[in-house]
Amino acid sequence: MTSAQLYYLLNLLIYAGIDIIACLGLSQQFGVAGVTNFGFIIFQAAGAYTAAILSLPNDSANGGFQSYLAGWNLPFPVPWIGAAIVGGLVALPFTFVVGRRLRGDFAAVGLLVTAVMFNLLVTNYRPFLNGAAGLSLVPAPLQGEYDPSGAGYQWAYAAIALVLAAGAYLLVRRVTESPYGRSLRAMRDNDLVADSLGKNLLAQRTSVLVLGGALAGLSGGILVGYITTWAPGAWGYAETIVLFAAVIIGGAGSHRGAVLGAILVPVGFEEATRYIPSTFGPPGFVDDLQWVAIGLLVVIFLWFRPQGVLPERRRIIGATAVPSNTPNEDVVSLAGPLHASRGAATAGSALPAADPAPRATASPAAADGGAVLRTVDLARDFGGVHAVAGVSIEVHRGTLTGLIGPNGAGKSTLLGMLAGTIPVTSGQVIYQGRDVTGLPAYRRARLGLVRTFQLASEFKRLTVMENLLSAVPSHRGDSLAGALRGRRCWRRDEEAAIARARVLLERFGLSSYADTYGGDLSGGQRRLTEIMRVLMTEPAMLLLDEPMAGVHPRLARQIGAQLLDLCAEGMTILMVEHELAIMDEFCDPVIMMAEGTVLATGTMTDLRARAEVVEAYLVG
């Protein structure tokens, strides 16, 4: 091998290391957490600029031909550490765009705009980072001690870049494979449902932005130390698309996919086109075709293989479960075994194991006249429509309270306001004697007030077992810190959760589906999964939105019987349901709504005897 070939090879290795780190960061955001960060390149740019101005001498050096901040001449590895830190910090303001309840594609456009805006600002404001010309003569790491052009130095640089890439790989794997990573994937699949199960979406999105930003910043630092120059032209918004192409082609959400994508697209593809003679076509022709090819690759892969070359792998947890072929029809009662498992699961906590509904401590509810949940003049307007207009209800401990009414009566809106998924226009929600009107959905879920959804809401790319595990409250592995501390920190919690999930799966006859993706289930199985999942949150009160819709009548009756068993154990349930036969059999009392108000409350027999109720249903 000639020395020119050797240098070229080392150059490729260094670029591979840099691009792998960046792609891992992006894959963590886009593939795992579902945050489509079209501004990703800014983080790399921030890291590169930071490393540059930390290692450059004061800007009066070199004849003062460039102007920039800092210029502190700091020794290696401080600039790289600074690059990672600044890359992470720059991510914080972005939270305002993605943390909001903004459509994913709107947020992505917002981030794209931000990327373009930052580039314009840096280009036009010269004193900050030397404007359009950018920074040059950036000192290579330790260039005083070693000769950066020597083969030994190049070898070392490549080795360090690859070691850092390996470190980045282990870091993102540790996060993704933890319960926290599972929560991130749950958020990706359905953020509204994740919120209702107690996930703090803002905190989760912030953490992936910061983690991905720090990795991107580090990649920028390594890059600028190698090429010793950095200018706005190097981080146009289109560079982000190259990284997206890499992640999509490699396999979004798969770490090995991110590595493969980094090697295939930014390194392999761009290098391959280097061998096309530049005399081919007019000036810039090859570069143009290269961009066209990147665009084509993205579109073609999204069409033919959206999961990428190395798809996200399925996490098999439940395969070793108790073999059970219990068909759905044979579901009997939840009371016995479920009760036992709840006791076991909560034994480790401070709460008494015998308490069937752990967080429903008796005293506050008693103080509120026995009502677990109470509303005062609750109202919600959509534009000019009063969907819910001044509703005051009470739901008492241990009851399976029904909520009926014609379409458009405001049932689902009311349920959404109780759970915190729909903001309240006016009025109050009092839960266990506490005003929770201002609490977001995830905080209410953590207090034990949890809802299900009218439409199927399974996490599609989580297995049934993972769907269940994702709902476990106060899991030690379900935080960034817990995830970083590793499996040892959370293994015990995980095992307990898996044991509980297996009991539930057994009871509901879905053990053999434990490793099936949520998206591959039948309609009835999805409803069952949703009910099991909400039970995993150890709720004190359930808000069920048509849990039996689309379920075989026989199975619906069995679900009803199980809900009654849960109530007998002390749980409180408020259930929206259209099927009056179900109401007749299971619900007492029943609240009847029409046109946004409560028409009547009582047993179904009472309600049937009242003319206005019958009329509302017939007319509505």
Site residues, other proteins (CB under 8 A)? 36, 38, 96-97, 100-110, 112-114, 116-117, 120-121, 124-125, 237-238, 241, 244-245, 248, 281-285, 288-292, 294-299, 302-303, 306, 383, 422-423
Specify the residue, 120 or 170, whose C-beta has the smaller distance to other proteins. 120
Residue with tokens 């150890």: 538
Strand 385-391 relative to strand 394-396: parallel, antiparallel, unpaired? Answer: unpaired
Tell me 517's DSSP state. Answer: B
Give the chain's radius of gyration (CA, Å): 29
Q: Which H or E run contains 516? A: none
Specify the residue, 421 or 558, whose C-beta has the smaller distance to other proteins. 421
Specify the residue, 27 or 537, whose C-beta has the smaller distance to other proteins. 27
Least Å distance, CB 545 to other proteins, is 18
Residue type, 448: G
| CA–CA gap between residue 360 and residue 540 (Å, rounded) | 5
Least Å distance, CB 385 to other proteins, is 11
Least Å distance, CB 538 to other proteins, is 29
Q: Which H or E run contains 543? A: strand 541-545
CB 71 within 8 A of CB 58: yes
Specify the residue, 298 or 468, whose C-beta has the smaller distance to other proteins. 298
Which backbone phi and psi does 392 adopt, to 5 degrees? -120, 110
Least Å distance, CB 299 to other proteins, is 4
Least Å distance, CB 555 to other proteins, is 27
Least Å distance, CB 344 to other proteins, is 40
Strand 449-451 relative to strand 541-545: parallel, antiparallel, unpaired? Answer: parallel
Which backbone phi and psi does 82 adopt, to 5 degrees? -60, -40
Specify the residue, 275 or 303, whose C-beta has the smaller distance to other proteins. 303
Specify the residue, 288 or 612, whose C-beta has the smaller distance to other proteins. 288
Least Å distance, CB 382 to other proteins, is 8
> In the structure encoding, which two tokens stand for residue 323, read together?
């073999």
Distance of alpha carbon 490 from the chain centroid = 20
Which has the closest alpha carbon to 206: 83, 90, 91, 47?
91
> In the structure encoding, which two tokens stand for residue 250, read together?
């490699």
Specify the residue, 388 or 536, whose C-beta has the smaller distance to other proteins. 388
Specify the residue, 14 or 242, whose C-beta has the smaller distance to other proteins. 242
| Secondary structure (3-state) at 138 | coil
Least Å distance, CB 298 to other proteins, is 4
Residue 325 burial class via C-beta count within 10 angstroms: exposed 0-12, middle 13-18, buried 19 and up:
exposed
Least Å distance, CB 203 to other proteins, is 18
Least Å distance, CB 302 to other proteins, is 6
Least Å distance, CB 456 to other proteins, is 14
Specify the residue, 245 or 501, whose C-beta has the smaller distance to other proteins. 245
Least Å distance, CB 100 to other proteins, is 6
Specify the residue, 114 or 200, whose C-beta has the smaller distance to other proteins. 114
CB 43 within 8 A of CB 49: no
| CA–CA gap between residue 29 and residue 212 (Å, rounded) | 6
Strand 394-396 relative to strand 371-382: parallel, antiparallel, unpaired? Answer: antiparallel
> In the structure encoding, which two tokens stand for residue 575, read together?
């259930």
CA dihedral 424, 427, 429, 434 (to 10 degrees): 120
CB neighbours of residue 423 within 10 Å? 12
Q: Which H or E run contains 214? A: helix 201-227
Strands, sheet with 449-451, edge to edge from the N-terminal-most edge strand:
449-451, 541-545, 572-576, 400-404, 590-594, 597-602
Specify the residue, 125 or 155, whose C-beta has the smaller distance to other proteins. 125
Specify the residue, 240 or 558, whose C-beta has the smaller distance to other proteins. 240
Specify the residue, 62 or 124, whose C-beta has the smaller distance to other proteins. 124
CB 543 within 8 A of CB 375: no
Specify the residue, 120 or 609, whose C-beta has the smaller distance to other proteins. 120
Least Å distance, CB 38 to other proteins, is 8
Write a three-state SS string for 1-52. Answer: CCHHHHHHHHHHHHHHHHHHHHHHHHHHHHHHCCCCCCCHHHHHHHHHHHHH
Which backbone phi and psi does 453 adopt, to 5 degrees? -115, 155
| CA–CA gap between residue 34 and residue 43 (Å, rounded) | 18
DSSP bridge partners of 542: 450, 573
Least Å distance, CB 109 to other proteins, is 6
Specify the residue, 300 or 340, whose C-beta has the smaller distance to other proteins. 300
| CA–CA gap between residue 298 and residue 26 (Å, rounded) | 15
Buried b (16+ CB within 10 A) or exposed e, 54-65: bbbeebeeeeee
Least Å distance, CB 374 to other proteins, is 24
Tell me 323's DSSP state. Answer: P
CB 48 within 8 A of CB 220: yes
| Secondary structure (3-state) at 396 | strand
Least Å distance, CB 67 to other proteins, is 16
Specify the residue, 103 or 488, whose C-beta has the smaller distance to other proteins. 103
